[in-house]
Amino acid sequence: MKRLLNFKGLISLAVLMTVGLFVAIIAGLLIPTSVFAAVGEVVAGGTLTQQIATGDDAYSETTQYLDMKDVQRKVELYKPYQTPLLTLLSQNNVASTDSWEKQYYAVDARGLYATVASSTAISSDVSTLTVDDATMFTKRNTIFFTSITTSTTKISSGRFLVALVLSRPTSTTLEVQFLNPGTTLAAGDLAGAVIYRGGSAMNEIDASTSAWGKMPEKDYNYIQMFMEQVEESEFQKIMKKEADWGMADLKRMAIEDFKLQRERTFLAGIRGVHNVDIDSETKRIYTAGGFLNDTGIPTMANESLSAIGSSSATFVGWLKDIFTGNNGSRSRFLLGGADLMEAIEKVHVDNKFLMAKESQVVYGIDWVKMVSTFGTLNLKYYEQLDLLGKEKWGMVIDQPNILTCDLIENGFNVRPIDKKSSGIAKVNSAAIEQASTLLIKNKNTHHIIQGV
């Protein structure tokens, strides 16, 4: 009992001494002579600093773990490149196919003009013309030589030469009779002339004429298999994170990149079937052809961008080439690289026939409208051309004549991959996939501008 009391007394004395020590420190009577830092360094007779607390002589952002950083919890998904080409394609119905090769047909309207390559000697006002395409003409069609205009010498009346089709011996020859020839009209005057189709002129008892019909032109493209995969491990999922970022965010990010992959393929892909060696195996790969690599699309080559800014005449000429002679829509879309769009920005639009209207949202995209008597051109700067090194190029799209096609039962899909139950890996995994291709119809209604 006596020993217990003595022990309690010692404890009480120790408590009193401790309290007294702290009171003395607070009152400034004593100065602490030693403090042990967290890393074991002894600080003698100095002031406690953050550098010493972290065991470093200089302040370092990576070692100042005593400071709690202000971390934004939400991760912003950076989407530097939009996909206007896919947006335009999405406005049309998506075709389907059950083959890796998708064949399709497109038919244009009956042609209205042809060019004469050569002519036989004129005899009794009759000659046989060799032209680039005679199939648009039928027997008894009138044709106009609007470039042959010299009165009384090349023509006998009217303002230009007119002829009548007597027969069409082949797909490139026409037998014609001139209706108003002049006294000096010769075969040499006809070479290189453009002839324009007019109406038929029939006899009063004619009950029929030669039949005309235009067969659709056949084209094809290959289905390309697009795929992207994302994974999140079990431990990554359960670990505490500074930012909210999980499997759903990984999928969303991958889908944006997946769209970009398709956009760039439909822009610059090459059509073909290839045997490639991958992992010591030979595999067959199908690749879809893109807009820029389609040689059937008319090309406006070597267009001077510096000439556009001086006057509106050059750009009006572009509009004429784009909208005339191809039976396309009166409103089309131009996606242009940075240099091309800079040149178009300098176009003078102060005449009543060419106007630049304010931007307008079409299909969810902000376009600038250029309105002319030929048609309306919707303009947008297109980063993807810059990222192909084609800042001076542009592509004119006639939206009703371009669409996509998916392999049947292989449209856009996010498919889960079970790696855990199979013992491959303890991860949540998903594949984003789509088997599709690009179909371009009536290619003369589209254009590729190659600026210099």
Lowest-confidence range among 170-179, 303-312, 355-364?
355-364
> What is the rounded average pLDDT of the residues 157-180?
91
- Given pLDDT bands bounded at 50, 70 and 90, which one contains residue 62? low
Instruction: Give me the amino acid identity at 257.
Output: D
Q: What rounded mean pLDDT belongs to the chain?
A: 77
Residue 73: per-residue pLDDT: 46
- Given pLDDT bands bounded at 50, 70 and 90, which one contains residue 58? low
Residue 411: per-residue pLDDT: 84
pLDDT at 80 over 50: no
Residue 33: per-residue pLDDT: 45
- Given pLDDT bands bounded at 50, 70 and 90, which one contains residue 101? confident
pLDDT by residue (tens digit) across 362-406?
777 778 888 888 988 999 999 888 888 899 999 999 998 998 888
Query: pLDDT: is 395 or 228 the higher one?
Result: 395
Residues whose CB falls within 8 Å of the CB of residue 210, separated by 6 or more in sequence, listed in order? 138, 139, 168
- Given pLDDT bands bounded at 50, 70 and 90, which one contains residue 136? confident
Lowest-confidence range among 6-15, 140-149, 316-325?
6-15
Residue 41: per-residue pLDDT: 54
Residue 118: per-residue pLDDT: 93
Q: How far is CA 296 from the centre of its chain?
A: 18
Alpha carbon distances (Å) from 307 to 114, 318, 390: 31, 12, 19
- Given pLDDT bands bounded at 50, 70 and 90, which one contains residue 25? low
What would be the CATH architecture of the domain defined by 113-200? Answer: Beta Barrel (2.40)
Please give the Cα distance from 404 to 88 (Å, whole number).
10
Is 261 within 8 Å of 269 (Cβ atoms)? no
pTM value? Answer: 0.62
DSSP three-state, residue 418: strand
Tokens of 249: 């965010």
Pairing state between β 272-278 and 281-287: antiparallel
> What is the rounded average pLDDT of the residues 24-38?
48
- Given pLDDT bands bounded at 50, 70 and 90, which one contains residue 337? very high
Tokens of 164: 């009548």
pLDDT at 120 over 90: yes
- Given pLDDT bands bounded at 50, 70 and 90, which one contains residue 284? confident
Please give the Cα distance from 176 to 166 (Å, whole number).
5
pLDDT at 4 over 60: no
Is 311 within 8 Å of 357 (Cβ atoms)? no
Query: pLDDT: is 53 or 271 the higher one?
Result: 271
Q: Percent of the chain at pLDDT above 90?
A: 22
Is 442 within 8 Å of 401 (Cβ atoms)? yes
Please give the Cα distance from 277 to 376 (Å, whole number).
48
- Given pLDDT bands bounded at 50, 70 and 90, which one contains residue 409? confident
pLDDT by residue (tens digit) across 235-271?
666 665 555 666 777 777 778 788 888 888 898 888 8
Residue 254: per-residue pLDDT: 79
What CATH number is given for 75-108+216-452 in this structure? 3.90.1690
Please give the Cα distance from 435 to 447 (Å, whole number).
27
Residue 98: per-residue pLDDT: 79
Most confident of the ranges 41-50, 277-286, 350-359: 277-286
How is the chain split into domains, by residue range?
2-53, 75-108+216-452, 113-200
Query: pLDDT: is 48 or 282 the higher one?
Result: 282
Instruction: Give me the amino acid identity at 137.
Output: F
